[in-house]
Structure 1
Amino acid sequence: MPDVEDLFVEFETAAATTFRPPGVADVQRRIRGRRRRRGLLAGLLAVALAGPASALAVAHRADRPEPRPTPSVSPSPTGRLAVRTVTLPGVSGELAELRFVSARAGWALFDTCAGADESAAGCRRTVARTVDGGVTWQRSALPAVPDGRVHLLPVDAGTLAVMTRVGYLVTMDGGNSFASHPFDAPQAAVRRVFATPSGLYLGCPPDGVPTTCDRQRVLRVSGGLHFHQPPVTLRSDAENALVEGADGRLWLTVGDDDGLTVVTSADQGATWQEMPSVPRAARQLVLAPDGRDVWLVRTEQPNGVWRLAGTGWQPGPALPDDTDGIAAPGAGLLVVTSAYGGLGFVTGGGYVEVSELRGPLRTSDPGTSVSVLPDGTVVAQHGRTWFLGVGRGVDRSWLQLS
């Protein structure tokens, strides 16, 4: 078993390449540095920070030159921002983590050691759940958690895995009870965190933990190898990811220094088709939750996007020069964050800024990440503040939670 720091770095690596959760850019920079120093990743069970199909974006990005700020924008037509404080009476500690699985259901972690060094001791952790969009929160029956870093890995409104430095604490009844599971024997509920909706994931047989094999396989949550393996080599030290939209199509990406290799299957892996490459070394595949919009993206300069049309890629709309994070809510839209703060939508007609988020996102906190939940809700994280954009298209109501 790797040491604690390596274990969590590997965990974040797998999460970043699968669902692009908050903090992915920083995680990837850390991982590239570690790869240069260590040569080969030790590996960890590929778990996802942001829950099922949250962003469906597969990233492979190198450090890039400083972008230029977006020169001009159009205002959002909504102008609505509600502010809500996440509190739990009688519970000490700060809000350390917030994970929504839909516009109404989510999980929160309160931690008396939030922001403290990994060696901090005597930490008290509390997990709570909401099913009304964060209006009210119900405390769970989480048992005492060992000192060390903790992450929430939600599956749905009733199922959550809490990752600790020694294993998982899993609830399947909305937090009323938890069961403990070691890293080397995760139950199906844990494997579902990082699996596709149809129950497929990448790992090393027989136990699914990619710590000993050189080549990953497509595995089934129910156990064993998938019947038909893709026609690509899935080196365990590469940035591989398998995602699936609501239409059932599978998308497998293999990242390297030259860009992405993309293969897809429309019949649950019975047959696989390798997609043509695109110029300028696209680094990221972005999939809308409904599976209809599929994009290849490059955010390094010169940036660009290509949208799937039939069996090939067509150039898409121009991205702002300062594009940092990116996700696809569907209907031909992309939602992007700025390296300088701010969030907006890229449409066929240009860029539409969400003006009500301009101020909250342009603070001294770390950069802003963005993802899209399975129900189409946009989620942005900026430090320890979260924003939900509920609605369709660019017309959304925005909620700030902290």
Structure 2
Amino acid sequence: MAHEAVSSSSVTGEHHNATAQPENTTPKANLMGMSRAELEVFFEGLGEKKFRAGQVMKWIHQYFVTDFAEMTNISAKLREKLERISEIKAPEVVHRNYSKDGTRKWVFRVGDGAGSLVETVLIPADDKTGARKTLCISSQVGCALDCSFCSTGKQGFQRDLTSDEIIGQLWVANQSYMEDVEIAERTRSVTNVVMMGMGEPLLNFKPVVKAMSLMLDDFAYGMSKRRVTLSTSGVVPMMDKLSEELDVALAISLHAPNDALRNELVPINKKYPLEQLIAAAQRYIRKDGNESARKHVTIEYVMLDGVNDQAEHSQQLIKLLKDLPSKINLIPFNPFPHAPYGRSSRNRIIAFQKALSDAGFVCTIRQTRGDDIDAACGQLVGQVADRTRRAEQWKKKVAQQGEIIRSQG
């Protein structure tokens, strides 16, 4: 909390009107991304009791209130103080689009000034538990890993997101269903979260863990740890660190059943090859406290025509995963401009699924959604500025390869 400065003139009784005191420029604390422990420290610093943290968390994350004046179980004096020194601020929505299939997409501006842009996608579906709404959240502006089949990777890496910016995506998605609902009747609509948007979550570890802890906190979103999933391309040391700090479901962006092919598709494999990756996944499952979220690992496998979808690949995948409790999610590739790959045929994907199912694996085919708003997996690129010129270089490389093929023909 800021304190007013006392000048020598106020002590001596002298007044010099020509010299104005500088205004307090201390930025307001954003309560959006604070953990319960951080909020307790914040309120104790104001001379308040710890329980105020839980009260405010509920107003923010369960009733989607950002105006302190609407927090009716907090005294007027404290509300006024909070208004002066703090704020509740989600990332700015600069674009939103709702697909005809129910998918919702938001483009957020993060940072000061023109800032940078990130995208978030909500995918609805029905399952045995009823209506499911899964939110795919971004953790970074762009991505440094440059997977060859991913449009986001072609934009390069700009910066990590803060915990405010990460949890703010979940806040906006929930609030979008509650805009015309009375405060007392508001509920949390998003049922599942996957850290599977722009960026590699484990390369932005602390803000991601803090945001996911808020998702699990009963004073915030109170989500089941089985319904909160972190997806990684295979940052092995951080997988081990995650197992020490948080119990959530784990997904691995695998996409290839052997090192030679995965080195091409997912370059981080050159640093952490498949043997190390599978061992880390096994350690994650065996970690104490695995009663629910860690019973298995979800394997994500994008289907690329003629690249990783052959019968030999399914047999290699079966051998690779034989000692890892896992569920396999086959993802039809979503082409983007200048992509060097095509989508596997429906028949090829079904044959691949059958081979895995016959081997005893639970294997599903992801339903492609949100194509009409560029919201499908691998299309989370939108209007993000290409500050590293990676996309330009990629397009040039593809054009050169095309020219070589034409000249040889």
Relative contact order (alpha carbons < 8 A, sep ≥ 6): 1 or 2 greater? 1
* TM-score between the two structures when normalised by the length of structure 2: 0.27
Higher strand share: 1
Whichever of the two has the greater Rg, that structure is: 2
* TM-score between the two structures when normalised by the length of structure 1: 0.27
